[in-house]
Structure 1
């Protein structure tokens, strides 16, 4: 497998998992959200990434989310499912269900909390690659793993048989660009900002897109890429400015939240737009009333951009 094995490109949001106030999964809301995202023109969906709160779910809940996402999206767009876990055995178990329900691929970060060294990270992915049959997207997530995959390591990982892409969420833009040039001919590369720089790298230099958080503004996010592919830079950047404004108001450069938690902000924004964002699940807490007002003001302001 390599970058040509999959058709992943453009805006692929890491989507929220709606929970009820009592902490149970809101399955009706989940189905509604999936259909809305497809109708809004997403180029793919990422289920149970960091935004999806996989870390507070049971294994069976994770697998059921895979099943229902595959069923309701019904191959209209690619579905990639997060299989991050602490051991390769756990990843392989989740990936088995992902394969059975015919999703497009899996997203895997280095095991959280463990802080493995480079040889341990390579061995971890090598074992997973040898044992799964789906394409793998590596998730470089320093904030959640305390490991920022080096250019040399990403170059080695790109050569593994099942690895076809990387979601590079490093806060170090210099590292981001160096890694892009090192692996772009072998695997797909995600994480570009929706601005002039991102436009140039995706339009002319071989970048693939953005795996962003939540798709709060609906088709505004994929339209950056739709206009980019048409060559309409003015309209692309108009949509990109809205995406960038949300990020600047909600998140810091390392993807931490400016208040509350990223998941609670994203869910509140969806709720305010009349969509089933739902509640976060503990240990993530809902926003305070003052914080909810901050979200409302931001959504009001983005309309004028």
Structure 2
């Protein structure tokens, strides 16, 4: 398999997993969120990734999330499911269930904590791919795995059968664009193209898509890619400039955490402000409760035109 065996492209929100305030899995809210994403024209979704707090779910809960995502999508958008775990056997079991449930592909990072060497990373994906015999996305997540899949290693992984895409979340932009340049002939590349620099790269070299933390902008996020396919560079650049302005106000460099709390907690707080179904975080993540931080976050959304200014009453 290679990039031509899938049609994945465009904007794929990394979907939060909603929990109740007391920590139970909230599948109706997850269904509502994916339904909203489909209505807003997202091209696909990624569930049970980093934003999805897979690390605090049981394997049965992860299966329920996959099934709910497929049911909610109803064929309107592509569904990729994160199956990262510390053993290949666990990845394979989760992946086989997800494929049987009807997902379009599985997303897997190197196992957390272990810090594999390059030859071990290649062997990891070879074993998983041979077992699943389904489209696999390499997920480069240095903050969670302790290793950064650089261009040379990505080049090797692009030749692994079953690997059809890479979601590259390296904090090193130069490395990302070099990786994109090196491997796009064989695998689809998802990363930070929705930036001023990314627009230039898309125009000169091409690119496949972005997996972003949720979708704060809503419809303008997939519209960026549709503008790219239509050749409307002015509209692309306008959205990229808005994103470049918003991102550092809310997220730490590298996008691994929020300015006001964990990535998941901050994203869910912002989503609530924007009337998007989000639910709550589950421990060990803690919600953002500081009133000043919440006011600041709301003000940022208002400054950037995502929320109307608060009404002032006499």
Q: TM-score range by the shorter chain?
A: over 0.9
Q: Say if 1:107 and 1:139, in contact at 8 Å, map to a contact too.
A: yes
How many residue pairs align between the two structures? Answer: 305
**Once the 2 structures are TM-superposed, how far is the Cα of residue 214 of structure 1 from its aligned partner?**
0.7
Residue 310 of structure 2 is matched in structure 1 by none
CA contact (8 A) 2:108 2:137 kept: yes
Cα distance, 1:244 vs structure 2: 2.7
Q: Distance in 1 between matches of 2:28 and 2:242?
A: 29
Could you tell me which of 295, 301, 304 is aligned with 1:299?
A: 301
Secondary structure of 2:213 counterpart: coil
Deviations 1:97-142, CA, capped at 9 Å, x for gaps: 1111111101100101111111111111110011002201101111
1:198 alignment partner in structure 2: 198
**SS across alignment from 2:81:** strand
**Match of residue 124 from structure 1:** 124
SS in structure 2 of the partner of residue 284 of structure 1:
coil
Q: Is 1:105 equivalent to 2:105 in the alignment?
A: yes
Unaligned 5+ runs, structure 1: none
- Greater shift, 38-47 or 295-304, is seen at 295-304
CA–CA separation in structure 2 for the residues paired with 1:68 and 1:203:
37
The residue aligned with 1:165 is 165
Determine if contact 1:221/1:240 at 8 Å carries over to the other structure: no
Question: Quick check: 1:202–1:209 contact (8 Å CA) kept in 2?
Answer: no
State the 1:188 CA deviation: 0.5
Q: Is the 8 A contact 1:11 1:42 kept in 2?
A: yes
Instruction: Write the mapping of 1:9-88 to structure 2, written as runs, cut at 5 A.
Output: 9-88=9-88
Looking at structure 2, the residues matched to 285 and 33 of structure 1 have their Cα atoms a distance apart, in angstroms, of 21
What does 1:263-278 align with in structure 2 at a 5 Å threshold?
263-278=264-279
Runs of 4+ aligned residues of structure 1 deviating over 3 Å after TM superposition are none
Cα distance between partner residues in 2 of 1:220 and 1:275: 15
Alignment root-mean-square deviation, CA: 1.5
Task: State the SS of the aligned residue for 1:139.
Answer: strand
1:304 Cα deviation after fit? 7.4
Contact 1:98 1:106 in 2 (8 A): yes
Q: Point out where structure 2 has 5 or more consecutive residues left out of the alignment.
A: 308-314
Compute the TM-score of the two structures, normalised by the length of structure 2. 0.93
So what's the TM-score if we normalise by structure 1? 0.96
Q: CA deviation at 1:52?
A: 0.7
